[in-house]
């Protein structure tokens, strides 16, 4: 991924893979930042990033409820 970013800072697939890697490692905050970066700087209408963020927000809501109980 580093090589791709050296060539193109706005490479959509590379940023998506980077975000997905964070999701798989359960690094929620880092994943959120990557998908937000895609929507802010690369493609404002990227469906994958929107769905990934929606899933993060949805899961965070239920995780918070579980902690309160």
CA distance 44 to 68: 34
pTM score? 0.83
CA distance 6 to 27: 24
Residue-wise pLDDT for 4-52, tens only, equals 888 999 999 999 999 999 999 999 999 999 999 999 999 999 999 999 9
pLDDT of residue 64: 64
pLDDT of residue 61: 82
Confidence of residue 69 (pLDDT cuts 50, 70, 90): low
| Contacts of the segment 60-69: beta carbons below 8 A, 24+ positions apart | 60/28
CA distance 49 to 69: 31
């Amino acid at each position: 991924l580093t090589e791709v970013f050296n060539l193109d800072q706005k490479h959509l697939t590379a940023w998506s893979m980077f975000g997905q890697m964070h999701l798989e490692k359960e690094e929620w905050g880092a994943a959120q930042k990557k998908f937000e970066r895609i929507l802010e700087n690369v493609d404002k209408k990227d469906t994958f990033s929107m769905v990934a963020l929606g899933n993060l927000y949805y899961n965070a809501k239920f995780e918070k409820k579980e902690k309160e109980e």
